[in-house]
Chain A
Amino acid sequence: MEFTYHIEGGDFSRAGAASSEVKKILKQLNIDLAVIKRVVVALYEAEVNVVAHAHEGIMKITLAPDSIEAVIADKGPGIPDIALAMQEGYSTASPRVREMGFGAGMGLPNIKKNCDRLEIESTVNAGTTVKMTTFFTG
């Protein structure tokens, strides 16, 4: 089963809307509450990264009986050094973004912590694709 959501860059007022929709779906599937929480936290961080750092993007969710795969692909500046971006506290967020309460450099590390498999591909001046997979237990 697949679901796709659009994410608008720069629109902080809507940041989190897509993750929230996915949460509503997972709640209907009787998935363990702790797993839902991990998935939603990871999705939320990826969604906010598109809003804060890129121009626009999509979130594509593929649900299988035992797992959820999410691909968050954006058009944007890309990440020149992914290993560096993955470090806790590393952020290039603008002062404007920091004013909104983001930019602690904790998003990507948080995603890593809250999913079972993470792949990030990025091309500078083109865009970034974050692919995360989480397995349902029980």
Chain B
Amino acid sequence: MEEFYHALKVSSTACTGCTHCMTVCPTQAIRIHHRLATINGAACVDCGMCLKTCPRRAIFVEQDDFNRIFHFRYRVILLPTVVFGQFAEEVSEEQIFAELHAMGFTHVIETDQSVDILTDAMRAYMQKNRPLRPFISAFCPAVVRLIQVRFPSLIGHVIPLKQALDLSALYARQKLKEQGVPEEEIGVFYVTPCAAKIAAIKSPVGEEVSPVDGVINMDFIYNKIKMGLTRRDHQPPPPTSGQGYLSPTSIAWTLSEGEASSFDGRCLAIDEIHNVIDILEKLENEEITDIDFIELRACDHSCAGGALSTNNRFLVIERLRARMKASATRQYPHDQEIERHAAYLKAQSPLPGKIVPRSIEKLDENRSVAMEKMQKINRIMEIIPRIDCGACGAPSCRTLARDVVQGKAKLSQCAFIQKTLVQEGLMTPEEAIEIAENTWGKNRFSNNKQETSCK
């Protein structure tokens, strides 16, 4: 099976193998080898928990080279509303738009412009497919991947539609093509609040290729805008093409309740990945039924809490709420340009492919073998201490046992087992050190501690 693309990377120079990320990873995708956190690509869902928890900023989000935008004559930047929430109220939306033009974008389009169209498409899908209730939103790519790897039985409940990001990218392309611009001269770049959206663009689920050409990290664009604003100090921004209208519901879309508040019936909004896992367990066990729609977001407070958000998430929400209020007092302008493309975008909205299961739970394809492996795991669990200390380089005793059975680790990595083996003369102290060094790095156990000294 083709691997997922992951934008989350570990810096081998900054990482000290401190285990913080390993412990928080909701899919147990991280192990420590040679004093370095290593991420298992089959299990990682790009939720960004590791990045948020890393005390050394050793986990980062890989991004495309910014100058790639200049490979295109028409350079479109797609902005999710949370971008504006990064800035203090003094910085106006016009200023932000102006800075984006100044750095080289020919068109600035708000991603959430297509939300009203998407909402209609989602509503129509739900009405047509009522037996598939409860419907699960495909908004957050980390959640879709989580469902693929850990809850494949729920895939049928996921609404198989493209997201606002894809629809707005298609809209931007269509708009320019209508003006006679050749396809290859259009570059569409998305400002991402997280690693998950990048992964969704680089290896889309249920889609062949994404209509987005490149991704720009939100913290990067924040710095670039800030820099421009500082340079231009006090001078008015150069005039730019106007910003389109966004309805209050579109502005709120990326926030918690953004989707759930848009539909009729019993709708739930859940954010933060552990809460999401909890609810998915309940759905899978059919402990929760009679729900119509469930909005699930990997980040605490949804995209306001995205890994690449630089501002405090509560302040992000405050700014967006202020904008919603202002928008609510405006008349809905029916002459919106995107409306003209509504039929086209709705037709484009279904995902052409399937969301495939990628279970990481199964011990083996063959049931009898899987059963034997499980028996072995149970036997290991009886002799290891079950204190989940992490000294073996795995997040829990059970994961070590699983790794051992899968041939990915040795039982002697367990610090307790090592002690016992040494005591019984079955292992020399030197051998024990060597095993530990394989996990925690060379010279970690020698007297010469320069490398690891506390500062």
Given the interface pairs A1-B375, A1-B378, A20-B281, the reply to whether A30 lies near B287 with Cβ below 8 Å is no
Is the C-beta of B431 less than 8 angstroms from some C-beta in chain A?
Answer: no
- Which of A32-40, A77-85, A87-95, A120-128 faces chain B? A32-40
The count of residues in chain A whose C-beta lies closer than 8 Å to any C-beta of chain B is 21
The answer, among B152, B365, B368, B378, for a CB contact under 8 Å with A65, is B368
Question: Which chain A residue lies CB-closest to B281?
Answer: A20
Distance (whole angstroms) from the CB of A29 to the closest CB of chain B: 5
> Is there contact, CB below 8 Å, between A29 and B285?
no
Is the C-beta of B183 less than 8 angstroms from some C-beta in chain A?
Answer: no
> Is there contact, CB below 8 Å, between B285 and A30?
no
Is the C-beta of B451 less than 8 angstroms from some C-beta in chain A?
Answer: no
> Which B residues between 353 and 390 are near A, CB-CB below 8 angstroms?
357, 359, 361-368, 370-371, 374-375, 378
> Is there contact, CB below 8 Å, between B363 and A28?
yes
Is the C-beta of B286 less than 8 angstroms from some C-beta in chain A?
Answer: yes
> Is there contact, CB below 8 Å, between B374 and A28?
yes
Given the interface pairs A30-B363, A33-B153, A36-B153, the reply to whether A44 lies near B371 with Cβ below 8 Å is no
> Is there contact, CB below 8 Å, between B286 and A30?
no
- Per-residue CB contact flags for chain A residues 8-25 toward chain B (1 = under 8 Å, else 0) read 000000001001100111
> Is there contact, CB below 8 Å, between B285 and A44?
yes
Is the C-beta of B318 less than 8 angstroms from some C-beta in chain A?
Answer: no
Given the interface pairs A1-B378, A30-B370, A36-B153, the reply to whether A23 lies near B285 with Cβ below 8 Å is yes
Is the C-beta of A27 less than 8 angstroms from some C-beta in chain B?
Answer: yes
Q: How far is the CA of A28 from the CA of B365 in the complex (A)?
A: 10
Give every chain A residue within 8 A of B153 (Cβ-Cβ): 33, 36-37
Q: How far is the CA of A27 from the CA of B364 in the complex (A)?
A: 11
The count of residues in chain B whose C-beta lies closer than 8 Å to any C-beta of chain A is 22
Is the C-beta of B337 less than 8 angstroms from some C-beta in chain A?
Answer: no
Is the C-beta of B284 less than 8 angstroms from some C-beta in chain A?
Answer: yes
Give every chain B residue within 8 A of A40 (Cβ-Cβ): 284-286
Distance (whole angstroms) from the CB of B356 to the closest CB of chain A: 13
Give every chain B residue within 8 A of A1 (Cβ-Cβ): 371, 374-375, 378
Distance (whole angstroms) from the CB of B266 to the closest CB of chain A: 14
Question: Which chain A residue lies CB-closest to B361?
Answer: A27
Give every chain B residue within 8 A of A20 (Cβ-Cβ): 281, 285
Distance (whole angstroms) from the CB of B157 to the closest CB of chain A: 13
> Which B residues between 281 and 319 are near A, CB-CB below 8 angstroms?
281, 284-287
Q: How far is the CA of A33 from the CA of B164 in the complex (A)?
A: 31
Give every chain A residue within 8 A of B357 (Cβ-Cβ): 33
Question: Which chain B residue lies CB-closest to A23?
Answer: B285
Q: How far is the CA of A19 from the CA of B375 in the complex (A)?
A: 19
> Is there contact, CB below 8 Å, between B367 and A30?
yes
Q: How far is the CA of A29 from the CA of B370 in the complex (A)?
A: 5
Question: Which chain B residue lies CB-closest to A33?
Answer: B153
Distance (whole angstroms) from the CB of A102 to the closest CB of chain B: 11
Is the C-beta of A41 less than 8 angstroms from some C-beta in chain B?
Answer: yes
Give every chain B residue within 8 A of A28 (Cβ-Cβ): 361-363, 370, 374
> Is there contact, CB below 8 Å, between A65 and B367?
yes
Q: How far is the CA of A1 from the CA of B370 in the complex (A)?
A: 12
Question: Which chain A residue lies CB-closest to B370?
Answer: A29
> Is there contact, CB below 8 Å, between A30 and B378?
no
- Per-residue CB contact flags for chain B residues 168-183 toward chain A (1 = under 8 Å, else 0) read 0000000000000000
28 contacting pairs across A/B (C-beta < 8 A):
A1-B375, A16-B285, A16-B287, A24-B361, A27-B359, A27-B361, A27-B362, A28-B362, A28-B363, A28-B370, A28-B374, A29-B367, A29-B370, A29-B371, A30-B362, A30-B363, A30-B366, A30-B370, A33-B357, A40-B284, A40-B285, A40-B286, A44-B285, A44-B286, A44-B287, A63-B371, A65-B367, A65-B368
